Structure 1
Amino acid sequence: MAHAVAQSDRALAETAAAEAEAERERRKVLTGIGWMVVTTLLFVCVTGIVRHVGPAAPAVEVAFIRYGVGIVLILPILRQMMRKPPSRRAWTFFASRGVVHAMGVMLWFYAMAHIPMAEVTALSYVAPIFVAVGAAIFLGEKLQLPRMLAIGAGIVGALVILRPGFEEIKLGQLAQIGAAPCFAASFLIAKGLTRREDPTVIVAMLSLFTTIALAPAAIAVWVPPSWEMIGWLSLCAVFATAGHWTMTKAFQCAPITVTQPVQFLQLVWATILGIVAFGEPIDPWVILGGGIVVAAATYIAHRERLNARRAVTPPAVATKT
């Protein structure tokens, strides 16, 4: 009898412990969603500032100043890193990533200055599509039918936004489409680096080498910036750095398959800010196409998480910091 009672008590204790663990996990996921909502707000502040400053100077100069200010913010990390510097091979990858990321940044800043914020945001969701294709080509990941269908859906979403044949495709749109494979290449290089390097070091090196890569082009077209412009871009760097930190917190608390759909809020905030601050009209096709692309990117993130569990590649969250 005593044995049966002990077993019953143990079962109740295990059930209570399981329920408590489930409740902790639920709260953790909700916290992750909250961090991602904050992330979308911070990143839309970044796009708003770039949109405001954009016409005042060449895109590459604006990008250079923003990243140059970012280096100041990461100086403590750089000092700490110098105590145990990365390998020569890692430096090569850091530099290569800086070059391709700089190309993407130049195109993105140009797009921000020439097309509506909502459109830039919606087209930016195409980047994970290029990552999926690049992972299959360069990292040997299998491109199975479900992922191929998701990639196809993402392309359809981009076509809905661009509407070729019905609307004239603008240079700003082409710039944003061109930025996507550059950012995808940057992501894939970082993905490989996470196998050997600390994510914080990877982020710090990205700021450093992107600034270096942007410098020659920025100097070639340099226009003396106003103090107001420098102030706005300094604030932009703060928002961007904070956004990367809150995004990391979100990924630590909740699976990427939960946080990825929340990124659609950034399109909502961008649309609202575009209307209020810049008088940009609502384009339902951009919202629809953006929704399709986000759905496709979310599914790809889900497949990537499954692959990460099977140790095909490191999880994508490791490089999104």
Structure 2
Amino acid sequence: MLASTVAFGLMAICIRLASRTEPVAEIAFFRNLFGLLALLPLLLWPAMRAGAPSAHLRGVLRTTQLRRYFIRCLIGVVSMWMGFWAIAHLPLAQAVSLAYSSPIFVTVAAVLLLGERVRLRRWLAVIAGFIGVLVIVRPWSHAFTAASLVAVAAAVITAIVAIQIKQLSREDGSDTIVLWTYLFWVPMSLPAALWFWHPPQGMAWLWLVLSGVLGTFGQLLWTRALKLGEVSALTPISFVQLVIVTLAGWLWFDEAIDRWTMVGAGIIFAATAYIAHREAMLARQHRSNAPSEAVEPGT
């Protein structure tokens, strides 16, 4: 999880560096293209060692949910554009802090879209998270900018994507979900990139390649971390990303460390950590109750 967090933090820095010369839509396209190129050998390596890469690839590609993938990826591309735009136009710490509010919106979306039951304590955590967002955005002060609303909108759309991934995972494995996501993302992000096309020059190529490779590594490591450990224990580690981008913003982009952003990020961190803790507890209770439910199928 720590390696995943570092990868995502470095990816955000690369996106910010690339945005100095390249349009956001073009950055999103190359992040997806180079991400896919980095993913394929990692995905096929175990099968290549066993001598059956084509059969393995056919197995990973097998799905009956292409329509859902199309909708999920279309929404995901919009979220990516918004998130990258926020990284390009907001202080890095603020953009990343607002991105961390996504689990709060996931809880609300799970109630509205999946009919999940959320009890009082988690609702209080959601309210606290919203307060943290308001502390960062500060719509009542001169520090408020429309760019911060774009970052919040990206977090909301990311929450919808998370719900869709949860639905997809009922039938498909994580490798299938990740591969089909990239296979849709690349062509979907191409038209906007061509519309705003600016031929990358010099170091811009390095930042574009790294954004794709780091994004893929971060995603795969994050998935692996969730298989190995409890989400409630892993969530606090992910906030190391905020430390990385805050220091990078201060050292490389002359961004002041805003105390209100830090306070709001702390509130969001506490709220999302509690939500993750409660979800992990409920998941453990569900697993512990599963055997007795299996013995008495009529209850």
Matched, 1:81 2:46: no
Per the TM alignment, residue 143 of structure 1 is displaced from its structure 2 partner at its CA by 2.3
For residues 84 and 114 of structure 1, the distance between their equivalents in structure 2, rounded to whole angstroms, comes to 38
For residues 161 and 214 of structure 1, the distance between their equivalents in structure 2, rounded to whole angstroms, comes to 30
Structure 1 equivalent of residue 163 of structure 2: 188
Classify 1:269/1:130 alpha carbon distance in 2 versus 1 (closer, same or farther; 3 Å). Answer: same
Structure 2 equivalent of residue 50 of structure 1: 15
Matched, 1:302 2:267: no
For residues 197 and 155 of structure 1, the distance between their equivalents in structure 2, rounded to whole angstroms, comes to 33
Matched, 1:147 2:112: no
- 8 Å Cα contact 2:31/2:215 also seen in 1: no
Give the root-mean-square deviation of aligned CA atoms.
1.8
Q: Which amino acid aligns with 2:22?
A: A
CA-to-partner distance for each residue in 1:131-182, whole Å, 9 max, x for gaps? 1011111111012211111110000000111111113422321211110121
For residues 39 and 278 of structure 2, the distance between their equivalents in structure 1, rounded to whole angstroms, comes to 33
Structure 1 equivalent of residue 151 of structure 2: 176
Q: How many positions carry a matched residue from both structures?
A: 276
Q: TM-score, normalised by structure 1?
A: 0.81
Per the TM alignment, residue 310 of structure 1 is displaced from its structure 2 partner at its CA by 5.2
For residues 84 and 126 of structure 1, the distance between their equivalents in structure 2, rounded to whole angstroms, comes to 32
2:238 paired residue among 263, 270, 274: 263
For residues 291 and 50 of structure 1, the distance between their equivalents in structure 2, rounded to whole angstroms, comes to 24
Matches within 5 A, 1:104-123: 104-123=79-98
SS of equivalent to 1:74? helix
Per the TM alignment, residue 125 of structure 1 is displaced from its structure 2 partner at its CA by 0.9
For residues 30 and 183 of structure 2, the distance between their equivalents in structure 1, rounded to whole angstroms, comes to 12
Structure 1 equivalent of residue 33 of structure 2: 68
2:218 paired residue among 220, 231, 243: 243
Per the TM alignment, residue 231 of structure 1 is displaced from its structure 2 partner at its CA by 2.3
Per the TM alignment, residue 302 of structure 1 is displaced from its structure 2 partner at its CA by 1.8
Larger Rg: 1
Matched, 1:226 2:221: no
Structure 1 stretches lacking a partner, 5+ long: 1-35, 313-321
Identity among equivalent pairs (%): 34
Q: Which amino acid aligns with 1:63?
A: A
Structure 2 stretches lacking a partner, 5+ long: 45-53, 288-299
For residues 10 and 145 of structure 2, the distance between their equivalents in structure 1, rounded to whole angstroms, comes to 24
Per the TM alignment, residue 71 of structure 1 is displaced from its structure 2 partner at its CA by 1.5
Classify 1:272/1:40 alpha carbon distance in 2 versus 1 (closer, same or farther; 3 Å). Answer: same
1:217 paired residue among 173, 179, 192: 192
Q: TM-score, normalised by structure 2?
A: 0.87
Classify 1:160/1:64 alpha carbon distance in 2 versus 1 (closer, same or farther; 3 Å). Answer: same
- 8 Å Cα contact 2:61/2:176 also seen in 1: no
SS of equivalent to 1:167? coil
For residues 284 and 168 of structure 2, the distance between their equivalents in structure 1, rounded to whole angstroms, comes to 18
Matches within 5 A, 1:153-164: 153-164=128-139
Matched, 1:38 2:3: yes
Q: Which amino acid aligns with 1:122?
A: S
CA-to-partner distance for each residue in 1:290-315, whole Å, 9 max, x for gaps? 01101111111122223334559xxx
Structure 2 equivalent of residue 252 of structure 1: 227
CA-to-partner distance for each residue in 1:16-36, whole Å, 9 max, x for gaps? xxxxxxxxxxxxxxxxxxxx2
